[in-house]
Structure 1
């Protein structure tokens, strides 16, 4: 019994650690919905994603080898790979997140008010994107969970509890970003790094080689180091700007 509880706690902790980038994406994506529906979008999006995660867990438990078997192979000198379903999904997710972060950063630079109005047009689209990207992020957490235990019920319970925690945390993160709009830029750059990390991870899983140079997954320690530096620079910059404002007022 103690062993089961210990495994469950580890799996929930795993969901939390691996869910950071997912949580950030949900918080930023939900802002595209009308203000009065943003909390609803987060809740329904994550709830649907939990149900689909359970279905994905069942599929992976029974067909994990199918996801690992390559279905598309290239042996060209310029680009070679052994693409399987898992690597394809990771590459798609990384590419999409990279595109989204660059697009949103660009819109911040050009300060297009019409863009913000347009992005609040479709609640269903926002829910769909939250569910879709949640599934992309699910693969690693589910496969990592499968490495810790083969008990389906324990993994399912951890997914449900992790989802509930994500709903609660998503609201808090979204509220924080709403009150501190300046941190949206930091969040988008973190998503940019997440996109790069997923692309590198997908490339490694596909045994991707460009001009006979292998693509290697970004180390998690490197990822968190970059995030820490981004956060530190943002904090220092904010503090410096406040000091400048105080100095100008005194003058």
Structure 2
């Protein structure tokens, strides 16, 4: 425990916690969309169960750092283009996120989202499976970021636990807000398309600075908040 007496350790820990929380924004958006399709009495439970399983998955991955780093080694070559297991997982996860978001937007625009909710997330367990599956994809970036910032596994575990707790605190509020306003739902799904595209591009070895993505997300959200307030004032 002597490491916590070193100032640079606390700086690393706070930086890592901040990065983990930022990287968890896409998780909260996705969980809000999925849990919103469940009956009201199951929504909060699905978020907490999904995030708890996500925490366990990330801690398990942290104890398998050597294996995680090994996933970045090339396993497949297509026309002299090397692909690792990490690239394949990111590509599959990104594609799933893009397709699911496009289908959700289509059904919402066409007005048959109630029927879709029954078909797509007909059970609590199915919602949890989708949340955990996507979180597994997001976890790779999260864990590799942690490895790049510190070599102390105890700091990584603390940062992951704190970030998940923060997500648990705000997930319900974000979910209620997203589900209250239909235009926010479309905007959130559009964010997921953007994030899915970013994952796919990362799989092709093109690094996209996440700052651009998050700036676009927050800028669009601010504009939509102004639109919501404008519509409220018009109704008055």
Tell me if the contact between 1:34 and 1:120 (Cα under 8 Å) persists in the aligned partners.
no
Alignment of 1:38-77 (within 5 A): 38-59=43-64, 61-75=65-79
Q: Which residue of 2 aligns with 1:24?
A: 29
Q: Which residue of 2 aligns with 1:230?
A: 220
Q: Equivalent of 1:4, from 6, 9, 15?
A: 9
How many residues matched? Answer: 230
Pick the structure with greater CA Rg.
1
Render the CA deviation track for 1:1-50: whole Å, top value 9, x for unaligned. Answer: 23322222111111111111111111111112222111111101110111
Alignment of 1:193-232 (within 5 A): 193-204=194-205, 216-232=206-222
Render the CA deviation track for 1:88-125: whole Å, top value 9, x for unaligned. Answer: 11111111110111010000111113223334421101
Tell me if the contact between 2:61 and 2:68 (Cα under 8 Å) persists in the aligned partners.
no
Tell me if the contact between 1:90 and 1:136 (Cα under 8 Å) persists in the aligned partners.
yes
Unaligned runs of 5+ in 1: 205-215, 247-251
Alignment of 1:186-197 (within 5 A): 186-197=187-198
TM-score by length of 1: 0.84
Tell me if the contact between 1:43 and 1:167 (Cα under 8 Å) persists in the aligned partners.
yes
Report SS of the residue matched to 1:83. Answer: strand
Tell me if the contact between 1:33 and 1:119 (Cα under 8 Å) persists in the aligned partners.
no
Tell me if the contact between 1:107 and 1:115 (Cα under 8 Å) persists in the aligned partners.
yes
Unaligned runs of 5+ in 2: none
Q: CA deviation at 1:221?
A: 3.4
Q: CA deviation at 1:127?
A: 0.5
The Cα RMSD (Å) is 1.9
TM-score by length of 2: 0.89
Q: 1:63 to 1:97 in 2, by over 3 A?
A: same
